[in-house]
A and B are shown apart, each in its own frame.
Chain A
Amino acid sequence: MADSTKGDAAIFPIDTRFQQMARRPGGVPRERALDGAQRHIDELKPEFNNWLSRELKELAVSIQQVISNPSDATVLERAHQVCCQLRDVGGTMGYELVTFVADNLCDILDAIKAGATCDKNMIDCHMDALALARTDAYRNLRPEQVPEMTSGLRRMVELAIASSARESK
Chain B
Amino acid sequence: MSSNPTINLRDLVILIADSSSYVRMISHSMLRGFGANKVLEVGQTGALLQTLSAQKIDILLCDARLPPYGGLVLTRTIRRNADNVNRTMPILLMSSDTREVAIKSARDAGANMVIAKPMSPKSLYDRLAWIAFSSRNFVDTDSYFGPDRRFKIEGYPGGVGRRKGDKVEEVGQEVGPALAQDDIDSLFSATRTG
A and B interact:
yes
What residues make up the interface of A, taking CB atoms closer than 8 Å to B? 1-4, 6-19, 21-31, 33-41, 43-44, 51, 81, 84-85, 87-93, 99, 103, 106
Q: How far is the CB of A74 from chain B (nearest CB, A)?
A: 13
| CB closest chain-A residue, reference B82 | A1
Q: Mark B108-152, 1 if CB is under 8 A from A, else 0.
A: 000000000111111011001101110111111110000010000
Query: What residues on A are CB-neighbors of B7 within 8 Å?
Result: 22-23, 27, 33
What residues make up the interface of B, taking CB atoms closer than 8 Å to A? 4-12, 19-20, 22-23, 25-26, 29-35, 56, 58-59, 65, 82, 88-90, 96, 117-122, 124-125, 128-129, 131-133, 135-142, 148, 194
| CB closest chain-A residue, reference B7 | A22
Q: How far is the CA of A22 from the CA of B96 in the complex (A)?
A: 27
11 further interface pairs, Cβ-Cβ under 8 Å (given A19-B133, A23-B133): A1-B140, A29-B6, A33-B6, A33-B35, A34-B121, A37-B121, A41-B26, A44-B29, A85-B20, A85-B22, A88-B23
Query: What residues on A are CB-neighbors of B137 within 8 Å?
Result: 11-14
- Are A89 and B125 interface neighbours, CB within 8 A? no
Q: For chain B, what secondary structure do more than half of its interface residues adopt (helix, strand, loop), or is it mixed?
A: loop
Q: How far is the CA of A16 from the CA of B134 in the complex (A)?
A: 11
Q: How far is the CA of A7 from the CA of B141 in the complex (A)?
A: 7
A-B contact pairs, 6 of them (CB 8 A): A9-B139, A15-B135, A33-B6, A40-B33, A41-B29, A92-B118
Residues A28 and B22 in contact in the complex (CB < 8 Å), given A4-B142, A40-B29: no
Residues A9 and B131 in contact in the complex (CB < 8 Å), given A85-B20, A87-B117, A89-B26: no
Query: What residues on A are CB-neighbors of B4 within 8 Å?
Result: 30-31
Query: What residues on A are CB-neighbors of B11 within 8 Å?
Result: 21
Among A7, A18, A89, which residue has its beta carbon within 8 angstroms of that of B23?
A89
- Are A23 and B132 interface neighbours, CB within 8 A? yes
- Are A9 and B12 interface neighbours, CB within 8 A? no
Residues A27 and B8 in contact in the complex (CB < 8 Å), given A16-B88, A37-B34, A88-B118: yes
Query: What residues on B are CB-neighbors of A30 within 8 Å?
Result: 4-6, 125, 129
- Are A22 and B140 interface neighbours, CB within 8 A? no
Residues A26 and B10 in contact in the complex (CB < 8 Å), given A9-B140, A85-B20: yes
Q: How far is the CA of A2 from the CA of B129 in the complex (A)?
A: 27
Residues A89 and B22 in contact in the complex (CB < 8 Å), given A4-B142, A16-B89, A99-B118: yes
- Are B8 and A24 interface neighbours, CB within 8 A? yes
Q: How far is the CA of A26 from the CA of B30 in the complex (A)?
A: 18
- Are B140 and A28 interface neighbours, CB within 8 A? no
- Are A22 and B9 interface neighbours, CB within 8 A? yes
- Are A22 and B12 interface neighbours, CB within 8 A? yes
Among A12, A22, A40, A92, which residue has its beta carbon within 8 angstroms of that of B138?
A12
Query: What residues on B are CB-neighbors of A3 within 8 Å?
Result: 140
- Are B125 and A33 interface neighbours, CB within 8 A? yes
- Are A36 and B141 interface neighbours, CB within 8 A? no
Among B20, B35, B122, B139, which residue has its beta carbon within 8 angstroms of that of A10?
B139
Q: How far is the CB of A34 from chain B (nearest CB, A)?
A: 5
Query: What residues on A are CB-neighbors of B124 within 8 Å?
Result: 37
| CB closest chain-A residue, reference B28 | A40
Residues A21 and B142 in contact in the complex (CB < 8 Å), given A37-B30, A88-B117: no
Q: How far is the CB of B53 from chain A (nearest CB, A)?
A: 18
- Are A11 and B33 interface neighbours, CB within 8 A? no
